[in-house]
Chains A and B, each alone.
Chain A
Amino acid sequence: MARAENEPARPTGCQVTASGVSVRFDDVFKAFDDTVVLAGVSLTVEPGEIFALLGPSGSGKTTMLRLLAGFEQLDRGRLLIADEAVEHLPPARRGVGMLFQSYALFPHLSVAENVAFGLKVRGGAQGEANARVAEMLELVRLSGFEQRRIAELSGGQQQRVALARALAPRPRVLLLDEPLSNLDPALREETRADLRRTVKQTGITTVLVTHEQEEAFELGERIGLLNEGGLEQVGGPAELYRDPASRFVATFVGRCSVLPGVVLERHGGDELTVRLESQPHAEPWLCRGDSGLRAGEQVDVCVRPEALELSTDGGSGLAGRIEAERFTGSNSFYTVRLASTRSDAGDGSAAGPAIEVAMPGSAAGMNGACVVRQLPGEPPSVFAGASTESDP
């Protein structure tokens, strides 16, 4: 957990890398007027870690970032950087650097003046500041751009200047607010790798806010998934994907179909068999779920498209009819409308839930009646509930 460290708020010395410090939210509560935005969130970000706060808009992730930066005041709880309470410090004294979504570069200053702003504010020697600016611009590969005006830069270059500016004063923590959302998709992928490389190179503890799962997965070493002011799950990308803690996590992270079912039997560990409600006579599915689930209980089965396969040649499985196909090149995603009971299969009146199945790109072009089968290996997650809706 949090490492006890007593680093100065304004470290001196002239190295690119900073040794990371921990960041802790301790039962943080924040409301705007009557709207509760954060309802007692606790979270520890490890020193040097890149932590991604992921969630839909309005989930409270940006508020967490702004609380940490000092732009908002928390109503209750504690905020610690390197085990030092910072909730009462003004933004200028928290030792936090921020990359804003809009970059917030000062348009009347040159690239070098922007990067030097935080250094000049601290009143260090001019020579040292110049050296640091050069070092930072080199880090973001913008050497030679010192005298350019901000308006002369491309979006990607502006983003890198903003990063250099945030890092120049050697903050203890770096905050990234939707850092890639202002870039066009083609540039985003390239910049993402670049950003991760730069941040890792500095070794600084980084908190990133994004609503895009792909961005969180690629940049974040660990991810905190927020929903309605609370943390649904904290973990690595693979953990969130394979072992979601809630139906919300399962549906927000990656694609999944939700099918209502009933627990038939519990096995060892977290394994259990579930009978799908729409086709009770079909072979039960092997699933994973909370140990609290008992036989006979109503559950939602959240199944990933790649955990299923599709066949138009008959055989056992869930009967249905292909409704739509989405071809992405490497894969073909089929939306299959399941028959409400097995006896309905093939007669065209199928009206059960829809389910999404991923097939290799080579299997494109299937249509008509089909059966859907569970692939061995990755059992779907089940959660207590009695949903009748599907969410492909």
Chain B
Amino acid sequence: MPWLVLAFLVWLVGYPLLVVAAEAFGIGSPGGGGPTTEAFRSFFTRADEWNAMWRTLWISVLSTLAAAAIGVPLGFLFERNEIPGRRLLGALVALPVALPPLVGVIAFLFLYGESGLAARGLQTLGLDVSWRLTGAWAILLVHAYSMYVYFYLFTRAGLSGQDGAAIEAAQSLGASRRQILFRVTLPRLRPALAGATLLTFMTSLGSFSAPYIFGGGFRVMTTQIVASKLNGELRMAYVETTMLALLAFASLLLLRRIDPGLDLASGARGTPPARRRLRSRGARVAAAAGGWVLAGVLLLPHATLILMSLVPPNTWTVEAFPPVLGLVNYGELLSSTERLRPALNSIWMAAAATLAAVVVGVMAARLSLRRGGLPGRALEAMMTLPWAIPGTVFALALAAAMSVNAPWVGRFVLVGTLWILPLAYLVRSLPLTGRSIFAGLRQLDPRLEEAAASLGAGPLRTVLRIVLPLLRPAVIAGAGLAFITMLGDFVTSIVLYTYDTRPISIEIQSSLRIQETGIAAAYGVLLMLLSAAAFIAWDDRAGGRL
């Protein structure tokens, strides 16, 4: 059994990566010809390829720094200070994490774009300003906006787990506030910050929506890969895919080294220090006002998206604010089955992939933890591997592996069929469900299963009556995250969708392309609402753990 599950995972996760690397060298490609390094030579000699690699790297570094610069202070502000409306504001500040990247990106476009609400507003005020939201800075802005939440949440979690007694001990030893921050608080926050850095950097490395919409001629690896594929330079696309995968691996290995793991965690987890109350009334009012302004700024893009969805086609020309608002776009969206289809596609494909990822996750985790050893580690590695690899890489790898009919080597023609996109979603869901199921199972007392067995329960009944009910919070947490992520997926969809399986994200993109901004926005709002509903249901079930 472990070998069967492992074989399936290797076929689904590891094999396509090998195929894409092999085809980059001209091995096993349907075009024939012997192994060659020609495409790699061409990659290393072309300036645009090097540029894309280099840009991917520095964009990721700067995105991480910018996200940290916003997220860490916000984390301290909300975790260590008692400000009016702290709980609500604290939750609002975390909101961007629940929204699909593409939605955030088009919301930015509508607000800060060349002819966005902000530009029009300023022009109406008589200011002769014009800008283009494009290139590196636009990408960085969107990244910082959507990824600071990782640092914010990790900082808050790290701070809330710290023992207040350590700070009191430092105080009693004569340390100043500054010394306490740099010598007690921050060092102990290192595991949390390392975790956020890893997450932000890897997300940024694989980011596709922002570079695709705002990049223009500024290409990073993910957009370069898709461009090569669209240009028909398949082998070059495979080389780029291989190089991006290697870059991701190298980054992961490097970043893991700064993560001190659990070494710094003290055995005793005491009570976190009491939050500081602002003494003067003025300061409290200022803090509250600042907080609400901040929340307003953070929510403005999404408010703009909602506004745009209410603008009927061809009614907004030169005015600062749309003159007509109505539900025409939603009517259009709901009236035709063809328009509604992408939403249904997204829902069923995300649900199917999530369900499959839960089943595979539970099987793999149980087998891995019971069996241990090499097969156990291999199972866990296959489950977590897709996390480290950008979505574009997997999309290309699956496109390469599953476009050839050679069942004897495990290759089937799935590209262009109904199955390829759910399968791709499944691959990307595996680490999300796997991580929480593994964690949940590790916390489960193995004696519980033995107790069930000694009371006469067989393996199936033990799983159904004992393991799954106890694993429910972990399953819901992982499944919720996977469902929300896949619902808004753009990066794999754009490579693998067919007309019949086009998801919401693809429909948003094609609506934008034909200038149906109102429809695109309405789809965006729909996606936002679906994600928010899933998020709320999930947060509720998962007991508020994020």
A121→B469 CA distance, assembly (Å):
16
Q: Are A97 and B455 in contact (CB under 8 A)?
A: yes
The residue of chain B having its C-beta at the shortest distance from the C-beta of A91 within the complex is: B453
Q: Are B461 and A100 in contact (CB under 8 A)?
A: no
A122→B458 CA distance, assembly (Å):
10
Partner of B450 from the list A98, A108, A121 (CB cut-off 8 Å) is A98
Q: Are B452 and A96 in contact (CB under 8 A)?
A: no
A70→B458 CA distance, assembly (Å):
13
Q: Is residue B287 contacting chain A, with contact meaning CB distance below 8 A?
A: no
A147→B445 CA distance, assembly (Å):
23
The residue of chain B having its C-beta at the shortest distance from the C-beta of A177 within the complex is: B447
Partner of B454 from the list A96, A102, A108 (CB cut-off 8 Å) is A96
Query: What are the interface flags for A78-89 relative to B under an 8 Å C-beta threshold, 1 for contact and 0 otherwise?
Result: 000000000000
Q: Are A169 and B456 in contact (CB under 8 A)?
A: yes
Q: Is residue B441 contacting chain A, with contact meaning CB distance below 8 A?
A: no
Q: Are B469 and A108 in contact (CB under 8 A)?
A: yes
Q: A71-B450, A91-B450 are in contact. Are A121 and B466 (CB under 8 A)?
A: no
Q: Are A100 and B447 in contact (CB under 8 A)?
A: yes
The residue of chain A having its C-beta at the shortest distance from the C-beta of B447 within the complex is: A104
Measured as residues with beta carbon below 8 angstroms from the partner, the interface class of chain A is: 20 to 34
Chain B, range 466-516, C-beta contacts under 8 Å to A: 466, 469-470
User: Chain B's nearest CB lies how many Å from the CB of A32?
Assistant: 13
- Chain B residue total in the interface (Cβ 8 A): 17
Q: Is residue A346 contacting chain B, with contact meaning CB distance below 8 A?
A: no
A105→B454 CA distance, assembly (Å):
13
Q: Is residue A365 contacting chain B, with contact meaning CB distance below 8 A?
A: no
Chain B, range 403-458, C-beta contacts under 8 Å to A: 445, 447-448, 450-458
Q: A91-B450, A98-B451 are in contact. Are A108 and B456 (CB under 8 A)?
A: no
Q: Are A104 and B450 in contact (CB under 8 A)?
A: yes
Q: Is residue A327 contacting chain B, with contact meaning CB distance below 8 A?
A: no
Q: Is residue A107 contacting chain B, with contact meaning CB distance below 8 A?
A: yes
A71→B450 CA distance, assembly (Å):
7
Q: Is residue A92 contacting chain B, with contact meaning CB distance below 8 A?
A: yes
Pick from A90, A96, A104 the residue with the most CB of B within 10 Å. A104
A93→B450 CA distance, assembly (Å):
13
**Which residues in B have their C-beta under 8 angstroms from that of A122?**
456
Pick from A92, A101, A108 the residue with the most CB of B within 10 Å. A92
**Which residues in B have their C-beta under 8 angstroms from that of A94?**
454
B contact patch SS? helix
Q: Is residue A118 contacting chain B, with contact meaning CB distance below 8 A?
A: yes
Q: Are B458 and A92 in contact (CB under 8 A)?
A: yes
A105→B451 CA distance, assembly (Å):
8
Q: Are A169 and B455 in contact (CB under 8 A)?
A: yes
The residue of chain A having its C-beta at the shortest distance from the C-beta of B468 within the complex is: A108
Q: Are B454 and A121 in contact (CB under 8 A)?
A: no
Q: Are B457 and A121 in contact (CB under 8 A)?
A: yes
Q: Are A106 and B447 in contact (CB under 8 A)?
A: no
Q: Are A117 and B450 in contact (CB under 8 A)?
A: no
The residue of chain A having its C-beta at the shortest distance from the C-beta of B452 within the complex is: A117
User: Chain B's nearest CB lies how many Å from the CB of A78?
Assistant: 20
A101→B448 CA distance, assembly (Å):
11
Q: Is residue A69 contacting chain B, with contact meaning CB distance below 8 A?
A: yes
The residue of chain B having its C-beta at the shortest distance from the C-beta of A9 within the complex is: B456
Q: Are B456 and A100 in contact (CB under 8 A)?
A: no
Query: What are the interface flags for A272-295 relative to B under an 8 Å C-beta threshold, 1 for contact and 0 otherwise?
Result: 000000000000000000000000
**Which residues in A have their C-beta under 8 angstroms from that of B465?**
117
User: Chain A's nearest CB lies how many Å from the CB of B379?
Assistant: 21
Q: Are A121 and B451 in contact (CB under 8 A)?
A: no
The residue of chain A having its C-beta at the shortest distance from the C-beta of B472 within the complex is: A108
Query: What are the interface flags for A105-123 relative to B under an 8 Å C-beta threshold, 1 for contact and 0 otherwise?
Result: 1111000000001100110
Q: Are A70 and B455 in contact (CB under 8 A)?
A: no
Q: Are A90 and B450 in contact (CB under 8 A)?
A: no
Q: Are B450 and A100 in contact (CB under 8 A)?
A: yes
A108→B474 CA distance, assembly (Å):
14
A122→B452 CA distance, assembly (Å):
12
Q: Is residue A337 contacting chain B, with contact meaning CB distance below 8 A?
A: no
Q: Are B457 and A117 in contact (CB under 8 A)?
A: yes
Q: A118-B455, A121-B456, A122-B456 are in contact. Are A106 and B450 (CB under 8 A)?
A: no
**Which residues in B have their C-beta under 8 angstroms from that of A304?**
none
Q: Is residue A165 contacting chain B, with contact meaning CB distance below 8 A?
A: yes
Q: Are A92 and B451 in contact (CB under 8 A)?
A: no
**Which residues in A have their C-beta under 8 angstroms from that of B448?**
104, 106
A169→B452 CA distance, assembly (Å):
12
Q: Are A92 and B470 in contact (CB under 8 A)?
A: no
**Which residues in B have their C-beta under 8 angstroms from that of A107?**
470
Q: Are A106 and B456 in contact (CB under 8 A)?
A: no
Q: A108-B469, A108-B470 are in contact. Are A92 and B454 (CB under 8 A)?
A: yes
Query: What are the interface flags for A39-62 relative to B under an 8 Å C-beta threshold, 1 for contact and 0 otherwise?
Result: 000000000000000000000000
**Which residues in A have their C-beta under 8 angstroms from that of B445?**
102, 104
A71→B447 CA distance, assembly (Å):
10
A102→B444 CA distance, assembly (Å):
12
**Which residues in B have their C-beta under 8 angstroms from that of A69?**
450, 454
**Which residues in A have their C-beta under 8 angstroms from that of B447?**
100-102, 104
Q: Are A70 and B453 in contact (CB under 8 A)?
A: yes
User: Chain A's nearest CB lies how many Å from the CB of B453?
Assistant: 4
A106→B449 CA distance, assembly (Å):
9
The residue of chain A having its C-beta at the shortest distance from the C-beta of B469 within the complex is: A108
A108→B453 CA distance, assembly (Å):
17
A166→B469 CA distance, assembly (Å):
21
User: Chain A's nearest CB lies how many Å from the CB of B539?
Assistant: 21
**Which residues in B have their C-beta under 8 angstroms from that of A92?**
453-458
Query: What are the interface flags for B194-237 relative to A under an 8 Å C-beta threshold, 1 for contact and 0 otherwise?
Result: 00000000000000000000000000000000000000000000
A169→B453 CA distance, assembly (Å):
12
A96→B456 CA distance, assembly (Å):
9
A300→B288 CA distance, assembly (Å):
80
The residue of chain B having its C-beta at the shortest distance from the C-beta of A69 within the complex is: B454
A316→B361 CA distance, assembly (Å):
78
**Which residues in A have their C-beta under 8 angstroms from that of B455?**
92, 97, 117-118, 121, 165-166, 169
**Which residues in A have their C-beta under 8 angstroms from that of B453?**
70-71, 90-92
User: Chain A's nearest CB lies how many Å from the CB of B463?
Assistant: 13
User: Chain A's nearest CB lies how many Å from the CB of B542?
Assistant: 16
**Which residues in B have their C-beta under 8 angstroms from that of A105?**
451
**Which residues in A have their C-beta under 8 angstroms from that of B458?**
92
User: Chain B's nearest CB lies how many Å from the CB of A223?
Assistant: 24
User: Chain A's nearest CB lies how many Å from the CB of B468?
Assistant: 10
Partner of B451 from the list A70, A90, A104 (CB cut-off 8 Å) is A104
User: Chain A's nearest CB lies how many Å from the CB of B371?
Assistant: 15
**Which residues in B have their C-beta under 8 angstroms from that of A117?**
452, 455, 457, 465
A165→B455 CA distance, assembly (Å):
8
User: Chain B's nearest CB lies how many Å from the CB of A234?
Assistant: 25
A97→B448 CA distance, assembly (Å):
13
Pick from A10, A101, A102 the residue with the most CB of B within 10 Å. A102
A166→B453 CA distance, assembly (Å):
11
User: Chain A's nearest CB lies how many Å from the CB of B1?
Assistant: 16
Q: Are B456 and A118 in contact (CB under 8 A)?
A: yes
**Which residues in B have their C-beta under 8 angstroms from that of A169?**
455-456
Pick from A69, A91, A98, A118 the residue with the most CB of B within 10 Å. A91
**Which residues in B have their C-beta under 8 angstroms from that of A90?**
453
User: Chain A's nearest CB lies how many Å from the CB of B111?
Assistant: 47
Q: A91-B453, A104-B445 are in contact. Are A121 and B461 (CB under 8 A)?
A: yes
A96→B451 CA distance, assembly (Å):
11
Q: Are B451 and A100 in contact (CB under 8 A)?
A: yes
**Which residues in B have their C-beta under 8 angstroms from that of A106?**
448, 451-452, 466, 470
Q: Are B466 and A97 in contact (CB under 8 A)?
A: no
Q: List 18 A-B contacts (CB under 8 A).
A: A10-B456, A69-B450, A70-B453, A70-B454, A91-B453, A92-B453, A92-B454, A92-B456, A92-B457, A96-B454, A101-B447, A104-B445, A104-B450, A106-B451, A106-B466, A106-B470, A121-B452, A165-B455
- Among all A-B residue pairs, the 5 with the closest Cβ atoms: A118-B455, A104-B447, A104-B451, A91-B453, A121-B456
Given contacts A92-B454, A121-B461, A165-B455, 9 further A-B contacts (CB under 8 A): A70-B453, A71-B450, A92-B453, A93-B456, A98-B450, A117-B455, A117-B465, A121-B456, A165-B451
